[in-house]
Amino acid sequence: MTNITKLKNTVKKIFLKKGLNLNHSKKCADAIINAELVGAHSHGLSRLKMYCNRIDRKLINPKPKIKIKKISNSISFIDADNSIGFVAADIAIKKAIQNSKKTGIGLVAVKKSGHYGLSGFYAEKAVKKNLISLIFTNAPPAVAPHGALKSLFGTNPICFGSPTGSKIPFILDSSITMINRGKIRVAARKKQKIPEGVALDKFGNPTTNAIKALEGVQLPIAGFRGSGLAWMVDILSGVLTGANNAGKVKDPFDDFSGPQNVGHLFITLKSNLFVKNFMKEIKNNIKIIKKLPKIKGVKEILYPGENKFYRYKRNVKKNILLDQKTKNDIKNLLDH
Amino acid sequence: MTNITKLKNTVKKIFLKKGLNLNHSKKCADAIINAELVGAHSHGLSRLKMYCNRIDRKLINPKPKIKIKKISNSISFIDADNSIGFVAADIAIKKAIQNSKKTGIGLVAVKKSGHYGLSGFYAEKAVKKNLISLIFTNAPPAVAPHGALKSLFGTNPICFGSPTGSKIPFILDSSITMINRGKIRVAARKKQKIPEGVALDKFGNPTTNAIKALEGVQLPIAGFRGSGLAWMVDILSGVLTGANNAGKVKDPFDDFSGPQNVGHLFITLKSNLFVKNFMKEIKNNIKIIKKLPKIKGVKEILYPGENKFYRYKRNVKKNILLDQKTKNDIKNLLDH
């Protein structure tokens, strides 16, 4: 037997101790352990202490009074009352699914939320109901707008999910930076180098030092285009929703001046809105693309989400390996 | 007086001659001349002969019976009956605007359409009604999926428009290739080189020769991420709508085996759905970002759409300059 169930229970126990109710604690544990299982360690247990820290400092509300305002049968607006992001996002995607089941399209905006882990985790919930989804969230400053010398945009991921007619969903969950900030954070902790061309230090010089990169600026994909996409995500998830934006989302690790007030936007669509047999169509689309001639060394053309799915399948049979720091974090959180 | 009005009338006259009605001819002329004025020559008069060619070959239907199916008060589905793309897109964005005025959100899918010029042209129409828009369209093969040796995805632009509280709209209209295919086409015609790192020749080698690049493969932005975004756009505008997808959209310039059957997806949202004063919020967002310290040599941080707006303002006071080939095209189209 693996340590997965045990770890999930441990995480649940920690959040219960911090004052979250059983349902909310379970949601947090599910999302965090899922991140570990898909190999996104930067969005998993390495953040546990941070979340608890913010609860202790009353920056995450363990007992939020989440308000869901109905704008129309399709549209809802959630004030998450500074809940932990996992809880707000779980309620939001469920509401979006509900709305789109009723009307074909669901739109749910969230303000006063926090870091919710992986967008793809929520896109998968929509895919399971045969829905297409677009998910946007903003994040603390990490990327300089094109032409600027200072970080302002978050890694602001664009997430798209689609059913595929197979058990492996199409999940594109792409931050607009060259690599995830979480990966730089993990590299910094492990004193590893980061690749060239992904970040600048605080003086604007290229660096492969993870710690200097965290002090400096992450580079967006494709210059002006990536910067524009990050700005789009800031408008959709921050400005439109009334959440923090323009660099005001607080870094959860080291800014304790207030709640993060992250914003999210969830759009879900019935996949068979316009065609009779969407599953047949998308299966065919994928089949054609997979049959293309490949670059030397490439065994198979994968669609976004496949790699993650296979990693999950492999990892779910094994123990989750914890580094010493995470072990200490968990021990301390259980003890105190 | 400039030649702009005269050129617009000439284009209108050419489409009238080709059998389009006055309204449709006017829409085509508006979109084509607008592309010239914003400096997107690759989407302007350089395509006039191509459109007419396809009408002559009965691949574009000059007298389409466009069917608009109401799915709900928010959602519509358009079968464009192989109309010229400008006409289909104009009807679609107007329908999306109408739907979102009624319900807060508009979703319009289009199949059996063609190349419609610049997505940003339609996003601007939504911005004028204080709407946020997301617009997706697929396009003929130009970009190889990650790991593949053959082009399949189009340049599949992601377009986002937002009001800004000023007269200059936020219009991000970004193809997922390093540069627009149209720009490579113009470079090929003018026998100019293209930048390094934007395309491979048909053997998979990097090239700066525009003609070889057209025969080869364009590179997506950010490798796997750009490829994933292109795939997303193909699903949203091609698979979801029942239009051609997976590389089946025909190249309008040299594939005469059938109509293009391009698909589009238009999403429009009321900008004040969730916040009382969106214009104040977005103005503030832009103000903060513009005030950031700048990289040496950068005078001002511009948001997407600003450059285009300023180009338009400058160009509208001048003659549109035509190269000899375009002059000949126009003369031939008027004569025959």
ipTM of the complex: 0.94
pLDDT band for position A24 (cuts 50, 70, 90)? very high
Record: contact A226-B226, CB cut-off 8 A: no
Q: CA of B277, closest CA in chain A: separation in Å?
A: 9
Chain B positions in Cβ-Cβ contact with residue A269 (cut-off 8 Å): 107, 240
- The DSSP bridge partners found for residue A266 are A108, A135
Is residue B93 a contact partner of residue B125, using CB atoms and an 8 Å limit?
A: yes
CA pair distance A256, A215, nearest whole angstrom: 17
**B 66-85 residues inside an 8 A Cβ radius of A:** 71-72, 74-75, 77
Select from A135, A218, A235, A237 the residue whose CB has the most chain B CBs within 10 Å, as the one to mutate to test that interface: A235
Residue type, B141: P
Q: CA of B46, closest CA in chain A: separation in Å?
A: 25
The CA–CA distances, whole Å, from A239 to A173, A229, A313, B67, B207 equal 21, 14, 38, 36, 42
Chain B positions in Cβ-Cβ contact with residue A172 (cut-off 8 Å): 228-229, 231-232
Least confident of A211-225, B31-45, B158-172: A211-225
Give the residue carrying structure tokens 């496949």.
Answer: A306
pLDDT band for position B216 (cuts 50, 70, 90)? confident
Chain B positions in Cβ-Cβ contact with residue A74 (cut-off 8 Å): 74, 103-105
Select from B155, B235, B244 the residue whose CB has the most chain A CBs within 10 Å, as the one to mutate to test that interface: B235
Q: Classify residue A294 by burial, with Cβ atoms within 10 Å: 0-12, 13-18, 19+.
A: middle
Q: Classify residue A31 by burial, with Cβ atoms within 10 Å: 0-12, 13-18, 19+.
A: buried
Minimal Cβ distance to B74: which of A105, A158, A240? A105
Q: Is B188 on the interface with A (CB under 8 A)?
A: no
pLDDT band for position B113 (cuts 50, 70, 90)? very high
The CA–CA distances, whole Å, from A60 to A2, A32, A57 equal 31, 16, 8
To the nearest whole number, what is the mean pLDDT of chain A?
A: 94
Q: How far is CA B81 from the centre of its chain?
A: 19
* Residue positions counted in chain B: 336
pLDDT band for position A223 (cuts 50, 70, 90)? confident
Give the residue carrying structure tokens 């193909």.
Answer: B234
- The pairing of strands A170-174 and B105-113 is unpaired
- For A240-284, how does the pLDDT look when each residue is reduced to its tens digit (9 = 90+)? 999 999 999 999 999 999 999 999 999 999 999 999 999 999 999
CB atoms within 10 A of CB A171: 26
Residues 6+ apart with CB under 8 A from A328: none
Q: Which two tokens stand for residue B205?
A: 């080698």
Q: Is A239 on the interface with B (CB under 8 A)?
A: yes
- The DSSP bridge partners found for residue B153 are B143
Q: Is A245 on the interface with B (CB under 8 A)?
A: yes
Record: contact B228-A172, CB cut-off 8 A: yes
- For B252-311, how does the pLDDT look when each residue is reduced to its tens digit (9 = 90+)? 999 999 999 999 999 999 999 999 999 999 999 999 999 998 877 889 999 999 999 999
pLDDT of res. A198: 83
Provide the whole-model pTM. Answer: 0.95
Q: Which two tokens stand for residue B142?
A: 């130009």
Is residue B135 a contact partner of residue B123, using CB atoms and an 8 Å limit?
A: yes
Record: contact A300-B147, CB cut-off 8 A: yes
Give pairs for A320-323: CB < 8 Å, separation 24+. Answer: A320/A2, A320/A3, A320/A4, A320/A7, A320/A33, A320/A36, A320/A37, A320/A45, A322/A45, A323/A189, A323/A190
Is residue A157 a contact partner of residue A43, using CB atoms and an 8 Å limit?
A: no
Q: Is B221 on the interface with A (CB under 8 A)?
A: yes
Q: Is A109 on the interface with B (CB under 8 A)?
A: yes
Is residue A155 a contact partner of residue A40, using CB atoms and an 8 Å limit?
A: no
Give the residue carrying structure tokens 């310290």.
Answer: B293
CA pair distance A101, A104, nearest whole angstrom: 6
Q: Is B236 on the interface with A (CB under 8 A)?
A: yes
DSSP 8-state secondary structure symbol assigned to residue A257? S
Is residue A38 a contact partner of residue A313, using CB atoms and an 8 Å limit?
A: no
Minimal Cβ distance to A147: which of B109, B152, B301? B301
